Homo-oligomer: A and B are copies of this chain.
Amino acid sequence: MKLSEEKHYINTIFYKVEQTAKYCKYLGNQVFQKLNMPLTLDEFSTLDTIKIYGEICQRDLAKLILKDRPSTGRILNTLEERGYITRFVDTKNNRLVRKMSLTAEGEEILTKATKVLRKYVDNLPEFMTQDDIKQLENSIQKFKQSLEKEVEMNI
């Protein structure tokens, strides 16, 4: 890469990652709308993450779903209001924390949404080969770990 190109933001890897992430986010939201999903993408990924990790505190969940603590609390409020999760107080390292777990309705809607989504994804035209995806995952993992040393995530 020539120096003259290198020095412009638009040619940096930072720009390319952010651009690709925007595509991911827009595509995800568009698909959720097109499929008339009963959940938003954020709600889906939150339920899905709770499903994997079981009972974790809100802050740990926030780190996983890539939101800050206020946003996470608000998402959980709406999921709780709609009866998809229940919240309760527990302790972690001798500290009071709020944890949550999926209700039967939460499990049900998550399963339903997952099925609809899977059907859509399976019918997409050829996307990338498994090798290409693996390669991208390795590269981006390395990059992310480099960033982690420098960035302060205040969550």
As for how many copies of this chain the complex holds, the number is 2
Interface status of A7 (Cβ within 8 A of chain B): yes
Within 8 A of B (CB), among A11-36: 13-28, 30
What is the distance, in angstroms, from A148's C-beta to the closest C-beta of chain B?
A: 7
Bound complex: CA of A30 vs CA of B133, how far in Å?
30
A132 and B136 contact, CB distance less than 8 A? no
**For chain A, what secondary structure do more than half of its interface residues adopt (helix, strand, loop), or is it mixed?**
helix
Bound complex: CA of A66 vs CA of B16, how far in Å?
10
- A136 with B13: in contact, given A143-B128, A152-B26 (CB under 8 Å)? yes
What is the distance, in angstroms, from A36's C-beta to the closest C-beta of chain B?
A: 17
Within 8 A of B (CB), among A86-137: 114, 118, 124-125, 127-128, 132-133, 135-137
- A26 with B153: in contact, given A10-B49, A44-B9, A45-B10 (CB under 8 Å)? yes
Counting chain A residues whose Cβ lies within 8 A of the other chain, the interface size class is 35 or more
Q: Which residue of B lies closest to A132 (CB)?
A: B142
A27 and B140 contact, CB distance less than 8 A? no
A52 and B10 contact, CB distance less than 8 A? yes
What is the distance, in angstroms, from A152's C-beta to the closest C-beta of chain B?
A: 6
